[in-house]
Amino acid sequence: MQLKEAPLALGKASDYTDSTEIIRAKRKPTPVPDISATTEITRAKKKTEAQDIKLKKIGTSDFFVIKKRIHEKEESEFGKFDLHTHTKFSPCAVTEPETLVRKAKQAGLKGFAITDHNTIRAWPALTKLAKQYELIFIPGQEIDVTFEGRKIGHVLALFTYDKIVVTDILDVIDEIKSQSALLSVSHPFDFGRSFKGFDKLSVTGPISKYIPAVETFNSRVLKEEANIKAKDFAEKNGLFQTAGSDAHMPYEIGNGYLIARASTELELLREIKLGRVVANGKLSGLAPRLHTLGAYMHLIQDKNFR
Ligand SMILES: [Zn+2]
Ligand SMILES: [Zn+2]
């Protein structure tokens, strides 16, 4: 590769020492090396060779060990967070709080959010268990929201500290804001479970005015396209992203998650708001949907999956 020549110096000479040196060097005819100069070159060459040997002695393998160590440190700072899970306190789920944390640990999660349907009954048990299992616990809820009295879908209230009892979407938005928490629309484009509030809310301005985040990966969507559409929607409208398994059965925990560099609940919220997160995971398929039906009918329990 040929290097570009430095531009000609203008202004104070002291500012352009390098450039002027180049010009000076160009003006000078190449000196014919006398014997003493050749000796100097040989000496310099020998010195460089000696340095090379010294470097080789440190060894490339050592270099890679050091590099690997740095890489591992970086990796350990990142973690997987499943931000959508249910326990037996949701009418369609069976997971005991103890099972949830155990499975979360097994799935290699760094933390999880509990988002039972319209209840926070699992919070006390999960607060203790998460501490015991060294998992970051994010208190949350999944709320059936309405607009002018009509059901329009589900939203997740994440990083909350109290139960949300209101259901009108505008009241829910205000309540979540007052708790300095995060609202994320669950499975916004899933077949049969889509959110019908985007058009209604964007009448008076951009949707981001009301909805700060959407779930861009949910493991229970019928088709992968629903998640792709959610991601496009988030990017187009400048919304934050969350992700989760939407686990109703123990074996689904950790199927969907957000990758983030966070060691506390607050750090995770900050990373989400900075957009430094990646939504990822796999779809859970049809089996858990059938099991959910069984849970509704009280036909199956947590112990069936141990
Ligand atoms: Zn839902
Ligand atoms: Zn859910």
* CA separation for the pair 156, 115 (Å, rounded): 7
Q: How far is the CA of 246 from the centre of ligand 2 (A)?
A: 5
Distance 81 CA to ligand 2 centre (A): 15
Q: Ligand 1 centroid to 186 CA: how many Å?
A: 6
Question: Ligand 2 mean position to 117 CA, how many Å?
Answer: 7
| Domains and their CATH numbers in the chain | 78-305 (3.20.20.140)
Q: Which ligand has the shortest distance to the CA of 284?
A: 2
Report how far ligand 1's centroid is from the alpha carbon of 172 (Å): 16
Distance 86 CA to ligand 1 centre (A): 10
Q: From ligand 1's centre to the CA of 303, what distance in Å?
A: 24
Name the closest ligand to CA 185: 1
* Predicted TM-score (pTM) of this structure: 0.76
Give, for all 306 residues of the chain, the pLDDT tens digit.
444 444 433 334 344 444 445 444 555 555 544 545 555 655 665 665 555 555 444 444 555 555 555 555 555 678 999 999 999 999 999 999 999 999 999 999 999 999 999 999 999 999 999 999 999 999 999 999 999 999 999 999 999 999 999 999 999 999 999 999 999 999 999 999 999 999 999 988 899 999 999 999 999 999 999 999 999 999 999 999 999 999 999 999 999 999 999 999 999 999 999 999 999 999 999 888 888 887 877 888 888 777
